[in-house]
Structure 1
Amino acid sequence: MATNVSFDSIIFDLDGTLWDSTANVALAWQTAKEQVDYVTDDITQQTVRSITGMAYDAIFEKLYPYLDTPTRDNFKALCAKHELDTLHELGGAHYPKLEETLTYLKSKYRLFIVSNCQSGYIEIFLKHDGMAQFFEAHQCYGTKGQPKFQNIKDIVADYNLQAPVYVGDTTGDRDSAAKAGVPFIFADYGFGQVEDGFVARISQFEELKDIL
């Protein structure tokens, strides 16, 4: 599906769009769970997939409503530490043709990342397999505690983007892009289901080369 729109820049979501780290995040959070006595259920890859794309604070509120706030915050901090340690060592699974597609896109567009992740998470992605060379800047929930739409707006304003497009995989991504006034491309190979509100839809990351 061609967009029939000219863009000068692309802002990407991370999880479910550029890579899938859910298996190793689940491993990290399960390690944290085994260190405490107040979390009842094991944490699986499906658990992590079910909340991917949510703001980091909201994830733990949804998964552990039975914990009081101080206890939940302690567990969130423990999970965050193990997550960064585990991903620093193991990384995540890049979607097929990621590097060659980014190489093509970089030759035509300015590239950015905006994610709802914790601070330090995008940096780990950028360090794996030389991803940093492709992206001019990034922003995340953990930096300022802002909703995704505001982080998208900040990237647009800070880098004077005239015609950006946002690529993501969830309704939250679509809604955030809309609130930021940025067109949305839906990556349907990711974790979400989006029925409308996109200017194009891709089923493989490399399809961006065909539509942009």
Structure 2
Amino acid sequence: MDSIIFDLDGTLWDPTETVVAGWNHVISRYKGAAKEVTIADLQGIMGLPVPEVGRKLFPDADEEIRQKIMDECCDMECLVLAKQGGRLYGQLEEVLKALSAQYKLFIVSNCQAGYIEAFYEYHQLQNYFTDYENPGRTGLSKGENIKLVMDRNHLTSPVYVGDTEGDMKAARFAGIPFVYAGYGFGEVSSHDYVLERLDGLLELF
């Protein structure tokens, strides 16, 4: 193994308590076109591509309104997270510091452009990561973005750490082992390794 590629939401942090008020502020401007969301709602869509999030949270809104709501929520999310951050799992910085001494670390998330940068800006953890990618920048699926990061960084034997079925499928698409973050938001049908807590990575690797 030469590297570890991480999902973000449900794997490295939980941002939902920070962003829920921002989402509902945006939604309130659309006069009943969509209902307010809860923390549980947001936790339930973590890891999904942005268009799928819109369809799941706002099924009754027409496509144009749904897209406007999602665009504004995504913009609000990045602004709020850059100023307030999210809840980091475990001893995240200590874990990253230990792992980065031995492996190259990366983030590939199904988020909008600016989201990973907001995570970096508030928590100042960017020095532990070599590269990152998301569909907001590339328009690609998570599996394709994993392969993109692998190719441009010349990785030969990475693993992917994530918490959802989509993460598992993305790792399978990229042809690399999947480490299931069992403490996160989702459930998976298969995995190569499982973590009960984030610092279990130090024991696993």
Q: TM-score, normalised by structure 1?
A: 0.94
Kept after mapping to 2: 8 A contact 1:169/1:191: yes
Report the 3-state secondary structure (helix = DSSP H, G, I; strand = E; otherwise coil) of the residue aligned with 2:194: strand
**Number of positions where the alignment pairs a residue of Structure 1 with one of Structure 2:** 205
**1:107 shift after superposition:** 0.5
CA distance in 1, matches of 2:73, 2:33: 12
CA distance in 2, matches of 1:129, 1:15: 14
Kept after mapping to 1: 8 A contact 2:2/2:157: yes
Aligned to 1:129: 123
CA distance in 1, matches of 2:19, 2:177: 30
Kept after mapping to 1: 8 A contact 2:9/2:46: yes
**1:167 shift after superposition:** 0.3
Aligned to 1:81: 75
Q: Answer yes or no: is 1:155 the counterpart of 2:168.
A: no
For residues 89 and 128 of structure 1, do their structure 2 counterparts lie closer, same or farther at Cα, with a shift above 3 Å needed? closer
Deviations 1:124-145 (A, max 9, x none): 1112232001000100111112
Aligned to 1:207: 200
Deviations 1:49-91 (A, max 9, x none): 1111000111001222222221111111111121112112111
Kept after mapping to 1: 8 A contact 2:34/2:61: no
Q: Answer yes or no: is 1:194 the counterpart of 2:188.
A: yes
Match of 1:52 among 46, 71, 85: 46
Q: In the alignment, residue 107 of structure 2 is paired with which amino acid?
A: I
CA distance in 1, matches of 2:58, 2:160: 31
Deviations 1:147-176 (A, max 9, x none): 100000000111100100000001110011
CA distance in 1, matches of 2:75, 2:104: 31
Q: TM-score, normalised by structure 2?
A: 0.97
CA distance in 2, matches of 1:171, 1:104: 28
Kept after mapping to 2: 8 A contact 1:31/1:82: no
CA distance in 1, matches of 2:140, 2:19: 22
CA distance in 2, matches of 1:51, 1:89: 23
Q: Answer yes or no: is 1:62 the counterpart of 2:52.
A: no
Kept after mapping to 1: 8 A contact 2:85/2:123: no
Q: In the alignment, residue 59 of structure 1 is paired with which amino acid?
A: V
Kept after mapping to 1: 8 A contact 2:106/2:132: yes
Report the 3-state secondary structure (helix = DSSP H, G, I; strand = E; otherwise coil) of the residue aligned with 1:205: coil
Report the 3-state secondary structure (helix = DSSP H, G, I; strand = E; otherwise coil) of the residue aligned with 2:69: helix
Q: In the alignment, residue 193 of structure 2 is paired with which amino acid?
A: A
Aligned to 1:178: 172
Q: In the alignment, residue 180 of structure 1 is paired with which amino acid?
A: A
Q: In the alignment, residue 132 of structure 1 is paired with which amino acid?
A: Q
